[in-house]
Structure 1
Amino acid sequence: MPEPSGQPSGGHLRPPGSRRHEGTGRFGRPPDGVVGEPPVEHTDVLVVGAGPTGLLAALVLARRGVRAVLVDGKAGPTRESRALAVQARTVEVYDQLGLAEEFLARAHRAARVQIGPPGRPVVIDLAAAQRGQTPFPGLHVLEQSRTEELLVGALRAAGGDVRWNHALLDLDDRTAEPGGRVEALLSGDGAVSRLHARWCVGADGAGSLVRRSLGLAFEGVTDDAVFWVADLRGATGLPEDCLAMRAGGRGFGVFYPLGPGGHARVISIAAGPDVGPAEALATAHDDLGVGHESVDWFSTYRVHHRVAERFRHGAVFLAGDAAHVHSPVGGQGMNTGLQDAQDLAHLLADVVHGHVTHDALDRYERERRRVALRLVRVTDRAFGLLARPSRGTALLRRGFATAAAPLAARGVRNPVGRRVAGYVGQYRIRHHVASAPLPVWADDRVVGRRLLPTEENRPSLRSLAWQLHSYGTQPARPADLPDWIEGPHAFPADPAGRWRADRTYLVRPDGFVAAAIPTSGGFLDEAVLHTAFRAHHLRV
């Protein structure tokens, strides 16, 4: 769910809309009472914002042995439930980090989607549509507060540096100058300090100070409709084991199971901008058939559909809600931010360790901004169908429940249904090679997609390293292959034919397939392999 616009307390950057010359500038005047120059600290990466996106970025950097400082003006992890839908691909990311087992023990699984009234709902078996395509089919529900607790614990165990009550005051990218760094002015622990970093990751939410300091437009719209969200105890009229969607006479509701005993989240359209919990929940009871005993949390918000004009400006990157916000329909937002973090953190680590050149950093914006734009388009269409308060959309909602939903329920096992389920689960994301005709190393349908984790290959994927995989053959390791590229790891032939025995696959640290190298007689085509290395800016 998007964070409210505005900047956190404890500091300020230049006013929104003001631009520095070429995106850079000088530090603002230190707060009153500060005398002299604050001390300077040096690190590789400054991560601003300790929500799920920032925490995962810092965790991956720590696991990859990169110095990083994570700062946030809050006193600690969020206490509100906020975002809670965790898709299959995100659990795969957790699995690579060794966190899947702990996550699954905390989360509540929703294998199905129920559409329509309690007496005659249509049930779509999401897990069945995803089975065989991911080790973690279905939707997993865990409050953002508990997700942050999981990531904070893992970050501390990895020796990561997270600093609460540290607000960003000013940011200046001087990396275009000889020996220049990103310079940040921070306020925390009753003092002002300076931190110099090679790069900065802005993961500081929809009202991002980092984005505004760069003068980057946040392109899109804010919808007129006001929504309310409530976390309920003792909820009645709702299933406990699946996501539910229900249209009433005046609106609609989306219901997430949070746990047994009627622990559930309700999201619905508000009658007006000043709706309170009593009025909203009375409407939910009368219009949607949902009762409750108590309320843990209640909030209202407007939905934004926005994408930053750039995800990278010099040595400063944007990720998560700082880069893109959209409708909560489909539970995609936090998951997209976490994958931003994974992609970017591995890229930065590869540059630090000399595995790729600086030119490889262009990949982040090229890949992740395209994903965000597609997501905003799709969720906006879904939002228009389900959420906008008009007579026309109300008829569409009821029509979907009575006609389209039954077709969807019957189609979850056919190729189209599995494809849609893959997009919902975010494991069908593909990073296309911008070249025509395709080079030999890219002429395989799995290139640009994440490698399907299996019982056989999951241990190797947890190494967070570049590696070579073969399926159904055992190729020799090229003599000049650098030691930081693992493999070739040999796995059994794929009975489904997804991976070819006459190819050896170059796999990125984030689990995406970078190239498919022709292999014959136990040897890789080294000329094609080195062409792929050059295309991905690998230093070999």
Structure 2
Amino acid sequence: MAALVLARRGVPVVVVDRKAGPTRESRAIVLQARSMELYDQLGLVEKVLAGSYLATRLQVRPDRPAQSLRVDRAQQGATRFPGLRVFEQSRNESLLVEALDEAGVSVRWRHRLVDLMQEDGPEAGVTALVEGPDGLSRVRARWCVGADGAASVVRRLLDVPFEGVTDDATFWVADLRGVPGTADDAIVARFGDATFALVFPLGPGGHVRLISLASHDGVDQEEALAGARADLGLRYDAVDWFSTYRVHHRVAARFRTGPVFLAGDAAHVHSPVGAQGMNTGLQDAHDLAHLLADVAHDHVTTAALDRYEGERRPVALRLVRLTDRVFGVVGRRGRGPAWVRRRFSVVAATLLPSLLERPAGARLGGWLGQYRIRYHLAASATPPAWADDPAVGVRLPPAGENAAALRDLTWQLHTYGGNAARPDVPGWVDGPRDLGPDDRRRLRPDRLYLVRPDGFVVASLPLAGGRVDDALLGAALEANHVVRGPDAPDPASETGVAPGVSR
């Protein structure tokens, strides 16, 4: 994701991966609404829609389908992609690698990072020592993004603590075929006398992913599936994949060390509760890549690089705390915790569906879909006038044709049913574009919105006679570290490559 965004924005990039090719196991399987919006921006969402499987609801008890939690209804109108898309990690990787190839970037497979050396000086970069099939080589770059998993070599070389705990319980995961009685459009929770399982639809005909609490450490495939038959009443015809794992709740102490950044599982790992992990990693990469491209093109100052950790680390901390609490309720062995889980399932099956029909349901749907994430852009407790709009700090809500506008990957000025003269902004800021009134009234006609390339609203400027206050505009641009140079075109617009980026 990071490499593709950088390539699309004209920044040279080298991708090093020790694997022989894209991941073949399904691993993570759910794409949330916000990740679908990222794929929409990159022109890939149609391929995801064609190759994914839509789950519209969460079913707490398999014997009560009428009491399902309709996730798609809770998210309706707030995103163009309500519901949960089952699109395995292996498919995500293949899709992104294919898009990278089309952008002229080839992944260096079978290349292992050996060492990482940071340079000194005002133009300091980083040199990576890499071992591949043909021996050792060096890659010199302005920045390095370590997105190399929970056992990150980059994080270890930086000596960044991975703070948190590892849970005592063991879980197992299996992709099964021919499981009878499964719902094709629902993620179903099953609660037994000793364990529990989550069943994810992978396709028709009982093709499912099963995640279950193991009865003890060291459980193997035969024993785990025999226990699922006895305790949960599950039957199956064939097994495609089986694995066991421990749940970790950890966040890196820093997401940035000089020119080196951490993203995805290298920066944070947590329970699979809520299907948030892969999505959070995709959004880390998307946020960071747009930021690096903006610095590379002199759109923002290098001081803006601190923004990444300031925005994404709080998201990881909140996610780890929340999933840790939920996991503390459901992820314990023994008859006592099993009894609590069964009682909880009865209450949840009764109350949660009605909750989703209320405002709290929309908030829950937004949390699950990850489009309610808010970045706190103003330094003061009392927001300045350019940040006193609820739209500031969140991703641009869908209205009119603004999804198409975001595909340009540029900084933009938007109005929604209002008229605005172009203010004094750099030439690479596009707009103002009037995209018509927002039917849900989240975006106001009397405001001019400044939107980052990653789709987040970073300023809402009051309009008076179609104009904004210059001092207020200046304060908003300064807070976002925007470079206010001459009214010149984007340096990448003609060459496709930002000067001075690759070393």
User: What is the Cα-based RMSD across aligned positions, in Å?
Assistant: 1.2
Match of 1:59 in 2: 4
Give the residue type in structure 2 aligned to 1:190.
D
CA contact (8 A) 2:62 2:188 kept: no
**Letter paired with 2:447:** R
2:439 corresponding residue in structure 1: 495
Contact 1:118/1:238 (<8 A) preserved: no
2:422 is matched with 477
Equivalent in the alignment of 1:117: 62
- Which of 42, 67, 73 is the equivalent residue of 1:128? 73
Gaps of 5+ in 2: 485-503
Residue aligning to 2:384: 439
Separation (CA, whole Å) in 1 of partners of 2:109 and 2:439: 50
The letter for the 1-side match of 2:100 is: L
Q: In structure 2, how many angstroms separate the alpha carbons of the residues matched to 1:310 and 1:215? A: 10
Aligned-partner SS, 1:116: coil
Name 1:468's counterpart in structure 2. 413
The one-letter amino acid paired with 1:451 is L
Distance 1:121 1:254 in 2: 18
Contact conserved, 1:237 with 1:291, CA < 8 A, in 2? Answer: no
Deviation, structure 1 residue 411: 1.5
Is residue 2:274 matched to residue 1:353?
Answer: no
- Quote the residue 1:20 is aligned against: none
Q: How many residues align?
A: 483
- TM-score with structure 1 length normalisation? 0.88
- Of 69, 74, 95, the residue aligned with 1:150 is 95
Amino acid at match of 1:333: G
- 2:28 and 2:278 in contact (8 A); partners too: yes
Superposed CA deviations along residues 279-300 of structure 1, whole A, max 9, x for unmatched, are 1112112211211100000000
Alignment partner of 2:213 out of 262, 269, 275: 269
- Residue 344 of structure 1 deviates from its aligned partner by 0.3
The verdict on how the C-alpha distance between 1:140 and 1:472 changes in structure 2, with shifts beyond 3 A counting, is: same
- What's the CA shift for 1:455? 4.7
Within 2, Cα distance between the matches of 1:179 and 1:447? 33
What corresponds to 2:18 in structure 1? 73
Cα distance 1:402–1:169, how it changes in 2: closer, same or farther (>3 A)?
same
Aligned counterpart, 1:378: 322
**Helix, strand or coil for the counterpart of 1:420?**
helix
Q: 1:313 matched to which residue of 2?
A: 257
- The alpha-carbon deviation at position 160 of structure 1 amounts to 2.0
Displacement, 1:172?
1.0
State the distance in 2 between where 1:154 and 1:325 align: 27
Q: Which residue of 2 aligns with 1:47?
A: none
Question: Does structure 1 conserve the Cα–Cα contact (< 8 Å) formed by 2:400 and 2:435?
Answer: no
The one of 332, 341, 348 equivalent to 2:276 is: 332
| Matched residue, 1:456 | 401
Looking at structure 2, the residues matched to 454 and 263 of structure 1 have their Cα atoms a distance apart, in angstroms, of 37
1:191 and 2:101 correspond: no
Q: Which amino acid aligns with 2:195?
A: G
Shift of 1:120: 6.4
Q: Deviations over 1:84-119 (max 9, x none)?
A: 111000000100001111111111000011111336
Pick from 79, 91, 105: which aligns with 1:160?
105
Give the SS at the match of 2:159: coil
1:27 corresponds to which residue?
none
Aligned partners of 1:315 and 1:493: how far apart in 2? 42
**TM-aligned CA deviation for residue 178 of structure 1:** 5.1
Shift of 1:121: 6.7
CA deviation digits over 1:411-469, x for unaligned, max 9? 21210011011101000000123312211111011100000134511111111110011
Structure 1 counterpart SS, 2:15: strand
SS of residue paired to 2:14: strand
- Percent pairwise identity: 59
- The answer for the alignment partner of 2:196 in structure 1 is 252
Residue aligning to 2:237: 293
Indicate if the aligned counterparts of 2:394 and 2:456 stay in contact, CA closer than 8 A.
yes
Distance 1:156 1:413 in 2: 44
Q: Give distance in 2, aligned partners of 1:117 and 1:443.
A: 45
- Report if the CA contact (8 A) 1:307-1:325 is conserved: yes
> Which range moved further: 137-146 or 237-246?
237-246
Counterpart selection for 2:114 from 150, 169, 181: 169
**Structure 2: distance between partners of 1:394 and 1:154:** 45
- CA displacement, residues 199-227 of structure 1 (integer Å, 9 cap, x when unaligned): 10000000000000011100000001000
SS of match in other structure, 1:187: strand
Give, in whole Å, the separation in 2 of the partners of 1:362 and 1:406: 45
Aligned to 2:68, what secondary structure does the other structure show? Answer: strand
Q: Which residue among 340, 355, 364 is the counterpart of 2:308? A: 364
DSSP 3-state at the match of 2:281? helix
- Between 1:144-153 and 1:300-309, the stretch displaced more is 144-153
Moved more, 456-465 or 489-498: 489-498
- Deviation of 1:404 after TM superposition, in Å, equals 2.7
Give the residue type in structure 2 aligned to 1:382: V
